[in-house]
Structure 1
Amino acid sequence: MDQEDQCYSLNGAAISRDRPLRGIAFMLAALAFFSCSDAASKLMTTALPAVEVAWLRFCVFTLLILGTAGFTGQMQALRSRRPVLQTLRALGVLGSSIFFIMGLAFLPMAEATAVSFISPMIVTALSIPVLGEVVGWRRWSAVVVGLIGVLIIVRPGAGAFDTAAIFPLLSAASWAVALVVTRKMSGSDSPLVSLTFAAVVGLLVTSIIVPFVWVTPGWRELGLALITGVASTIAQWLVVLAFQQARASVLAPFSYSQLVWSGLLGYVIFGNVPDRWTQVGAGVIIASGLYTAHRERTVRMSSALAK
């Protein structure tokens, strides 16, 4: 079994990835829970500032992660071999969360989600200076096409342009930083360590900011906070399970199913129907993302054969 056939469980033990259908099922379920978390967060933004929504989410996330680690006797396993990089990754996750919630406060769920799908293309751009990767014209073309898809959705200069579209773009950039740092660490820590750092750092940073924007939440907001925190934590756990069962190249195309969930929940809960431009732009971004995933898989396979 080579390294491409291995993944790691929450505690870092190597496991085989040979159940793609199960992995796909876990990934689809994870994205459904992420969308439920986003819907609850959007509902909360009608009464609370985005930072406070993120703080409440991180409160639940941290309690669940640390509670799980304590219950399973894995508290000692939470030490990181790369604490600086883990902290940087956690800040990327935090930025992604806050900016996306800010976007949800002003934009329909489907539109915010579609714009955020630009992150794989940003990863391609960041991989050159950070990881020293060589990016050919094909992947650069995919980046340009992805940006065109974003422009189709946000339509700068048009009457329908909403400046709030910058928030999901910033969210995508922050998430891309987190992904690049994750690659940089190259599996030096277990997924549980990464989840714990993301939860604790997110909670600490938002705890510093939230007193300046505090609005006392009602029972409705507290209930929604519980939903968004639990749904987000379950989604993170399901993603780990998905990658335990299947390769990233198998799972990547299914990440775009989140747009379906976001569109459905946006329609059922908020009455939002994605317009024609959002649908076209989302299609362009998805095509670009799928091609980027295909090219990265091709490059990895070529590198492996050359060794």
Structure 2
Amino acid sequence: MTPHHGAHRQVIGMWLMAGVALMFASHDAISKTLIYSLPVIFVAWARYLVHSTLVTTVLLRNGGAKVFHTRRPWLHLLRAVVLLADSLSFLFGLTHVPIAESTALVFLAPAFVTILSPLMFGIKADRWQWLSVVLGFIGVLVIINPASDAFSLWMLFPLATALFFALYQMLTQLAGETDSPSVCSFYVGVFCTLILSAIVPFYWADPDWLQLGLLLVLGGLGLCAHFLMAKSYRYASSSVLAPLGYLQIIFAVAYGILLFGNYPGTASMFGIGLIFLSGLLVYARRQPVAPVSQV
């Protein structure tokens, strides 16, 4: 591969990751719009139902029933429970917390990964990674400002989301040792749908045609974002692409202003900047992974 061709592939991967950030931000903006008029549980159930239906259809067309084989179903069930905790804590938080601040707090997940990795994988962090953790938590304190009169316990929900997302990432890494990404995606979607299906009758709603369309778009966006993310890593390494995920915060700020009239204050922007810097430090210290040469 020539240097020019390698650079071209990296640019493609970077554009794909930017698209992922936009899709996730759009997903969250639609979620916030829907939960103003529909129960959170119903919105989450519809999102995972669409996800499971699309993934199952794709897997059946590509490989038949054999692609559903897994040796670790209980691990996938645990992943689903953690992912549900992630999704629901974020959605409930969005009912009271602006989308920009919510998104920024979720991006504390790399700091939680740094804290938890020695316990789960025996990977010790260096001083720069611990500095990133400290910066991240300072950013959190600046955003939620627990000493102010404006502090709300709802701010803790996106913070819990970051913890659950970190756990989900590490459990997915364990699952990936034996199962393919498509199998992991299938089982987590199915288990989430089944769990929510047992609860959703108590929170049932009758969406109108516009809400129904948005629910379908919501499920499609989530699946497409994960597909494009996997595709992007075939063009460039994680050290190049991961920082671009933080574009989601910028898109979230834009959505918050345009759709909901939420203008982050100076303190919030400073806290968001610290969390952004925290994440960049985490990824800067990772060992680069070579991109896959085949498309």
* TM-score, normalisation: structure 1: 0.87
1:33 CA displacement: 1.1
Which residue matches 1:55? 45
Deviation at 1:225, TM superposition (A): 0.6
Aligned position for 1:99: 89
Q: Partner letter of residue 210 of structure 1?
A: V
- Cα deviations by residue, 1:260-300 (Å, 9 ceiling, x for unpaired): 111111222112212111110010011111101112338x9
* Map of 1:294 onto structure 2: 284
The answer for unaligned runs of 5 or more in structure 1 is: 1-15, 302-307
CA distance in 1, matches of 2:195, 2:58: 22
Which residue is equivalent to 2:63? 73
Contact 2:175 2:184 in 1 (8 A): no
**What displacement does 1:74 show?**
4.3
Moved over 4 A (4+): none
Q: Relative to structure 1, is the Cα distance of residues 162 and 17 closer, same or farther in structure 2, using a 3 angstrom cutoff?
A: farther
Identity within the alignment, %: 35
- d(CA) in 2 for partners of 1:35, 1:194: 23
2:22 counterpart letter in structure 1: A
Residue 282 (structure 1) aligned with residue 277 (structure 2):
no
**Equivalent AA in structure 2 for residue 212 of structure 1:** F
Whole-angstrom distance in 1 between the partners of 2:179 and 2:63: 17
Unpaired stretches in structure 2, ≥5 consecutive residues: 1-5, 291-295
Pick from 206, 214, 229: which aligns with 1:224? 214
Within 5 A, what are the aligned runs for 1:191-210? 191-210=181-200
Verify: 1:37 aligned to 2:27, yes or no: yes
Query: How many equivalent pairs are there?
Result: 286
Alignment of 1:166-177 (within 5 A): 166-177=156-167
| Equivalent residue letter for 2:90 | F
CA distance in 2, matches of 1:184, 1:190: 11
3-state SS, counterpart of residue 19 of structure 1: helix
Residues 69 and 186 from structure 1, CA distance in 2 versus in 1: closer, same or farther, beyond 3 angstroms? Answer: closer
Q: 1:179 aligns with which of 160, 169, 175?
A: 169
> 1: distance between equivalents of 2:261 and 2:190?
35
Deviations 1:143-202 (CA, angstroms, capped at 9, x unpaired): 121011011011112022122111111111111001111233454221111111221111
Q: Work out the CA distance in 2 between the residues paired with 1:149 and 1:30.
A: 24
Q: Match of 1:252, as an amino acid?
A: A
